[in-house]
Copies of this chain bind each other. A is one copy, B any other.
Amino acid sequence: MTNPPAAETRWLNDEEQSIWRAYHHAWTLLEDHLDRQLQRDAGMPHIYYGLLVLLSDAPRRRMRMTDLAQNAKITRSRLSHAVSRLEKKGWVRRENSPEDRRGQLAVLTDEGFEVLKESAPGHVETVRAAIFDRLTPEQARSLGEICRVMAEGLQPEGADLPWLR
């Protein structure tokens, strides 16, 4: 994108600024909160936990690295770094894909599955306390709807996003 000249910029008004700040503030606080809970209780940040969850939901607890990156919405290089760390912990291992010699699979180990099982209750409790215990049912539903609308705009069909390359 070429920046528009400042004179044509559609600056945020006071209300929009306050909404944007509240959204950014809540997300920064929640991300930090989840990271600290998982770091303390499971020895990993939230992003690693998310990768283990994706693998545990996949058939035979394994996924192609490209699919895992795409599902986690992270770049291949960031995923590769994370999987190396998870390998060192013994929670994930890499395998060559039997169908595609260039492809690599990430596989959740039994140990990784155990860690996930042990840390899931604490994580879910943290999410519930931060969101569902705070919001009314209408607010929670409205949050889901709003976020679906935003996500749709950020990932249109055919978009050239890093994890789709």
With contact pairs A32-B73, A125-B4, A125-B10 given, residues A130 and B154 touching in the complex (Cβ less than 8 Å) = yes
A37 closest partner in B (C-beta): B1
With contact pairs A22-B148, A41-B3, A134-B150 given, residues A124 and B10 touching in the complex (Cβ less than 8 Å) = yes
Q: A9-42 interface mask toward B, CB cutoff 8 Å, 1 = contact, 0 = none?
A: 1111001101110111111111111001100110
- CA gap between A12 and B118 in the complex, in Å: 16
Asked whether any CB of chain B lies closer than 8 Å to the CB of A119, the reply is: yes
**Which residues in B have their C-beta under 8 angstroms from that of A154?**
26, 29-30, 33, 130
Asked whether any CB of chain B lies closer than 8 Å to the CB of A85, the reply is: no
**Which residues in B have their C-beta under 8 angstroms from that of A124?**
9-12
- B150 engages A131 (CB within 8 Å): yes
Residues of A82-135 contacting chain B, CB below 8 A: 117-122, 124-135
With contact pairs A142-B139, A144-B23 given, residues A132 and B9 touching in the complex (Cβ less than 8 Å) = no
- B127 engages A150 (CB within 8 Å): no
- A19 engages B149 (CB within 8 Å): no
- A147 engages B22 (CB within 8 Å): yes
State the Cβ distance, A19 to closest chain B Cβ, in Å.
4
A132 closest partner in B (C-beta): B16
Chain A to chain B: the 4 pairs with minimum beta-carbon distance, closest first: A19-B144, A26-B147, A9-B121, A22-B147
